[in-house]
Amino acid sequence: MNITVNANPCFKEVDQSHKRYIVMKGSAGSGKSVDTAQNYLLRLMQDKGRNLVCIRKSDITNRDSTYAELTGAIYRMFGEQADRYWNIKQSPLQLTCRHNGNQIIFRGVNDEKQREKLKSITFQRGKLTDVWIEEATEITQADFEIIDDRLRGELPPGQFYQIRMTFNPVNRNHWIKKVFFDTPDPNVLTHHSTYLDNRFIDAAYHARMERRKEVDPEGYQIYGLGNWGEIGGLILHNWTVEEISQNLNDYDDIAIGQDFGFNHANALLLLGVKDDNIYILQEIYVFEKETSEIIPLAEKAGFPKNRTMWCDSAEPDRIKMWKTAGFRAKAVKKEHTTEKKYQAAQIDWLKGVVSKDKIINRRIYVHPSCVNTIKELQQWKWKKDERTGEYLDEPVPFQDDAMAALRYGVEGWRKPRARYNKVKGGI
C-alpha cells in the first residue's frame, strides 16, 4: 500500500530511530505532535503485533489532543476511505487498524486508580510496544517509571520498544531535562524543533509568534524557540486542575465570560462559583470564526441561555447577535478609571482581594478539558522592565484571551450583590 503524507524533514531522524526513548521538546506549532501521530499510524499499519498507548496526565485531555491528532491524520491520509483502513471508536477512545488488528488506546496517570489501570493493559493481538506521552512535562518521574516498566519481555526479531515524549519546555529544573538531556545515554534520542522548522505552519500563526517576540521576549524564548526556561512574574498561582462537577446545580451561581476575537482566539468560559471559589467548567476557544459560527458551538456544548454572558463592551454588534440567539449577553461596564487599574482590580479579586479591608483564600478550579485555559494560566504574566529587571503591574498583552473571558465572567460576582441565584439544570 502506498501512502503519501506531508512531513517536515526535521523529524526524519526521530521517525527512523529504534532507540527506546525519543524525547522531543519544541515550541508551540513546531509540528512535533502532527509528525508523531502520522509516524505511529504508519508504523502500526506496517508492523503486525505493535500496539500503542497514548498518555496524558489526565486521561480526559486525550480526546482533544492525542486522539484528535491521530484521527485528523487518518482523515488526511485516507479521506473518505478512512473507515476502510481504521476502525475509529469514541467510547471508549480506541483506534484499530483493520489490516492487522493493531490498536491504539488512551490512558491517564492522574491518580492511583488510573496508574493501576495502566499496569493491566492487554491487547487482543501482539504486545504493548509503543507509548506516546503528550505534554510530558505534566507527568512526574514516578509516573514515567510506571509507564516505562510496562515495556518488557521478549519481542519477535526486528521489533523494538519505544517511548516518545512530546512537550513544550518550561522549567529548566524539570526532571525530564535532568534525566534525558543532561545525562548522556545511548538509548536516548533528544530532539529540538521550533515553529520555524514547520513548513506547513499558517501565516497567521507565524505572525502571532513574531508579535510575541516583540511583546514578550522572555516567553518567546520558551514558547517560540522551545528553549528551557522558567516563566517568571506569573499573575495567578491559586489555581488547580481537577475533575470538577459539570452539574450546574452543584454551584451557587453560573455565568459565562466571553472575549471576542478573530485573528486571535474568541474565548468563552462557562464558570461556576461556590463558597467564594471559582470553577472553570468548560471552554470554547476558536480562531477565525464569525459570531454566527460560534453561537451554534455554544448551543451544542450546552452553554445555558438563562445565565448572564459577560462580554467585552467594545463589540456591541456581536453582543446583539448573541442576544438575538437567546443568550443573556451583556457588556461589562468598566469603571471610570484607566484600563490598567480596571484590569488590576479584576485580577486582585481573582486572587482573593475582595476589598482593601478583606482578603480571602480564594481558589480557582479548572476542569482538565479546558486545555487552552490551562495553557494561558501557565504563562499569563506581568510585563518585565528590561532595564531594571522588575515586573510591572501590567499583564503581557499576548495569549490572554481565556484570561480576558475569565475576568469578564466574574464581573457579576466581583461587584457586590445581595445573593447568588442558584441555577437549576445541568450540562
234 in a structural domain? no
Q: Which domain holds residue 41?
A: 9-212
Cell (9 digits) for 39: 509516524
**CA neighbor of 70 nearest in space, from 89, 95, 107, 45:** 95
* Same domain? 251 vs 105: no
* Same domain? 187 vs 316: no
* Same domain? 36 vs 179: yes
Q: How far apart are CA 61 and CA 73, in angstroms?
A: 18
Instruction: Give residue 69's pLDDT.
Output: 95
Cell (9 digits) for 229: 526556561
312 in a structural domain? yes
SS3 of 181, please?
helix
* Domains: count for the chain: 2
Q: How far apart are CA 128 and CA 71, in angstroms?
A: 20
4 in a structural domain? no
* Same domain? 248 vs 200: no
272 in a structural domain? yes
* Same domain? 179 vs 270: no
223 in a structural domain? no
* Same domain? 264 vs 382: yes
CATH label of the domain that carries residue 302: 3.30.420.280
Per the prediction, the chain carries an average pLDDT of: 89
Give the DSSP letter of residue 288: S
What are the start-end ranges of the H helices in 240-288? Answer: none
* Same domain? 106 vs 255: no
* Same domain? 282 vs 378: yes
Cell (9 digits) for 373: 485555559
Give the DSSP letter of residue 52: E
230 in a structural domain? no
Instruction: Give residue 417's pLDDT.
Output: 57
* Same domain? 165 vs 58: yes
Instruction: Give residue 336's pLDDT.
Output: 62
CATH label of the domain that carries residue 33: 3.40.50.300
Instruction: Give residue 273's pLDDT.
Output: 97
**CA neighbor of 65 nearest in space, from 422, 379, 371, 270:** 371
* Same domain? 255 vs 196: no
> Packing angle between helix 32-46 and helix 66-78, nearest 10 degrees?
60
121 in a structural domain? yes
SS3 of 149, please?
helix
Distances (CA, A) of 154 to 47, 54, 128, 420: 16, 22, 12, 62
285 in a structural domain? yes
Which residues in the chain land under pLDDT 70?
Answer: 1-2, 335-337, 416-427
- At which of 212, 247, 265 does a domain end? 212
Radius of gyration of the chain measured on its C-alpha atoms: 23
